[in-house]
Structure 1
């Protein structure tokens, strides 16, 4: 019987302690709310001055490859992305690019972008190439003609077709 009484006392004590803690927490929250409200009412409406404009230093970091397009993850093979601008001009860059586009471990979209962007990267003006870019356009068209029949998969084949079409259009614009 004494053990039942002991457990009863322990239970009542636990309930009483829980009620006291709840009451203290509730009071503390109410007190904190009141302090915040009073502080907000008494606070002067002073506008704080803006910090001075940041000083822009010259870019001391070496140029990086173009960032991934919006909504796309960063490239898994940034070296291939950097090499892309030299494809058609530099054999080493072309080899790095070739290994990447034929790498089955690279995502399809990244391989496709590496091929399709042959009409953008490496030109004097990405939007409007100049006559000085014509040799690069021709070199890339020859490269595509050589690689297209040996495309490793449908993704690369479609990307080669798109790049070829775009490069032919660029060449036609320059001929006008």
Structure 2
């Protein structure tokens, strides 16, 4: 059932994901990297497609499901502070894992459609390689600090909204 806390959690988590993706694109990615569905080309030659939009859409769902339920509480009158804090951290971890796995899978599919892989095992090995590369890019304090701190703030704000607006 839709509640104000779920709506606030979803919208704030989507905004946070957009911001973190902007940090990834502008600060962390090496020059000439490709991310997403390769539509937008940055001045340094990097290709960034719908990366931010897809991440924000995923964060919308994660914020609604992971943070929204504890922020609404069992009776619809808000949750405890510890519950919304841990829900915020959990949502950040879920979003990070989901983003890395899906991005590496899309990258593998994109390369495999060009006919580079002839066997499924080779494609899966390449997927794990892309996954490892993405994990190394994301495990950076420039990305993790705003994501985790922002998710904690989203959890707290959603918890306050859950207590104030029934």
| More contact order relative to length (CA 8 Å, sep ≥ 6) | 2
TM category, shorter: under 0.3
Q: Normalization by structure 1: what TM-score?
A: 0.25
- Greater helix proportion: 2
Higher-Rg member (1/2):
1
